[in-house]
Structures are given as structure tokens and as C-alpha cells.
Structure 1
Amino acid sequence: MGYLQDNVGMVVESLDEVISFFTEIGLKLEGKAIIEGEWAGRVTGLGSQQVEIAMMVTPDGHSRLEISRFLTPPVVADHRMAPVNALGYLRVMFAVDNLDELLPRLYQQGAKLVGEVVQYEDSYRLCYIRGPEGLLIGLAEPLGPK
């Protein structure tokens, strides 16, 4: 697995549930691994740690999402349900082909629409959803010629 690439990371409780959800959006599981050892704790500043990670890649192969589940040390804070105007990292956004076809499938997996699906000029249809574990995810359907 080529993990040392540009990616966005998130910490979750259930890798399988979150992997399933992002697979529905169109990402593919690139691989899973356990990251542990003295070197890992030196990078994060957490000391001794053991983390199960899953790396997912977007359909174009240019972007990756690193999903982590901490085995040790335990999670110390939870920001998943922060509102859109909270400080810090907010959400990850994905370009999708067809919101009208995708959203019902995501609703079946427990996703909830945050506001509305809106159109920005003649460029995009956009929305925010809360996915598994309350994760905030943006979806953007490009409009016009493909």
C-alpha cells in the first residue's frame, strides 16, 4: 500500500461502517493496516499508540482519505457533530456524478441532509450531509458538459 501520499485523515469508531459509506460515494478501499511502534508515537506526539487505518482512493486516483481507528491510546475528544461554522477542520467534499441518484442510497445508510441541495450558478449542485458517526461530508455535482 502506498500510504505516504497526499491525503485527508479522519478518526472514527467503526472502520467498516465508514468504509462502506465512502464506497457508496465512489471511493475504493486501497488497503488496511495497523500502524504502531515507537516511530509512530514520535510523529503524532502521542507516545505509544496502535491505530488501525484504512486508505481509500477517489475514482480518479488523485486523492486519498485515511480513516483511522485508535486502539491505543483512547480517543480524547469528539468534534464530529460540530456545526458548519466551528473552528478547525470542517468537512471533506467529493465531486459526484448524480446527486439525485446517490442521495437515496446514502440515506439508506443513515445519512441525513444538513440543509438543502442547492445550485450554484450553472456550475454545481451542492449539499452537505451527515454521514456515519455524524461526519460532515460535502457533495458537489458538476453541471454542464462532461
Structure 2
Amino acid sequence: MAEHNLLRMDNVGIVVESLDNAVSFFLELGLKLEGRAMIEGEWAGRVTGLENQAVEIAMMITPDGHSRLELSRFINPKAIEDHRTAPVNALGYLRVMFAVANIDDTLERLYKHGAQLVDEVVRYKDAYRLCYIRGPEGILIGIAEQLK
């Protein structure tokens, strides 16, 4: 069997209009703010192909320290496409799924930040209760509570 060089998945990136609103939402979900920074300069443009980009980012980390979410607000160039309200069967990036200890409590807290349930909380066998929700700016995430 061939050996692979993959070490881990480092982060998932989501582009937003309001970094403050997105950070507040994900803090309420239970992620921690690892840091905020401006990413700019020609080196960054060589990575993304956007030349003279200026992007403000916030790096969020899960409580276990294993997963990160990079929230980005493009200052230059401005965002040119909007996929946030695409239906769940749209091609491309869809959602991030988070494991939570109590789905009902989590939903109540996220509703205060404008979250909306996509349809309903469902039970999958005796394994999970789960749902999709739309957070700030229509960002689609999933939350799942493992049943004992």
C-alpha cells in the first residue's frame, strides 16, 4: 500500500460580509477565536490568484483543538459571487457539520443570533438527532447530537 503525505485537514474557509457577526455566531456555537489578522500583499495574491488582495480573517478553533474554521472578509477585490443561499443539493461547498452535546440548547442559543432551521430536527436510528441551520448571511451548517 502506498504511503500518503497527508497529515490532517487544517481548516475550512467561509467568505462573509460581516466578520463580527460570523465570529459572534460561531463563538455562540462553541468555537473559540484563535486570532484575527489582515492578509495582504503580493505573496497572498500568488496563492489565490487575486493579485493585490486584502482580506481580514478570523481563525476559529473547535474546543478539542483539532478543527479550524477560517472566516474571511474580502476588502480587495470585493466578493463577486454569492452561493450562501444555494439549496443543499447545489454543486460545490455545502456545509460544515458540528457535533454538539445538546442540540435543543444549541438551537435556542443560535436562534438569538438569527439562525434559522432549514426544515426540522430529525432522528437517525438510535444514533443521532441532527439538522441543518442557516446562520449569519445564510451560511449553511449542520449540527448533530450523538444519542447514548
CA distance in 2, matches of 1:79, 1:119: 28
C-alpha deviation, 1:105, in angstroms: 1.2
Q: Which amino acid in the other structure matches residue 33 of structure 1?
A: A
**What pairs with 1:74-85 in structure 2 (closer than 5 Å)?**
74-85=78-89
1:46 aligns with 2:50: yes
Please give the residue correspondences for 1:1-146 in structure 2 after superposition, counting only pairs within 5 Å: 6-144=10-148
Q: SS at 1:76's partner residue?
A: coil
RMSD of the TM alignment (CA)? Answer: 0.8
Tell me the alpha carbon deviations over residues 21-64 of structure 1, each in whole angstroms, 9 at most, x when there is no partner: 00111100000000001110000001110000000000100000
Unaligned runs of 5+ in 2: 1-8
Could you say what secondary structure the match of 1:40 adopts? Answer: helix
* TM-score normalised by the chain length of structure 1: 0.94
The list of structure 1 runs, each at least 4 consecutive aligned residues, that deviate by more than 3 angstroms after superposition, is none
Question: Structure 1 counterpart of 2:103, which letter?
Answer: L
Q: Which runs of 5+ in 1 are unaligned?
A: none
Amino acid at match of 2:56: E
Alpha-carbon distance between aligned partners in 2 of 1:83 and 1:30, rounded to the nearest angstrom: 31
TM-score with structure 2 length normalisation? 0.93
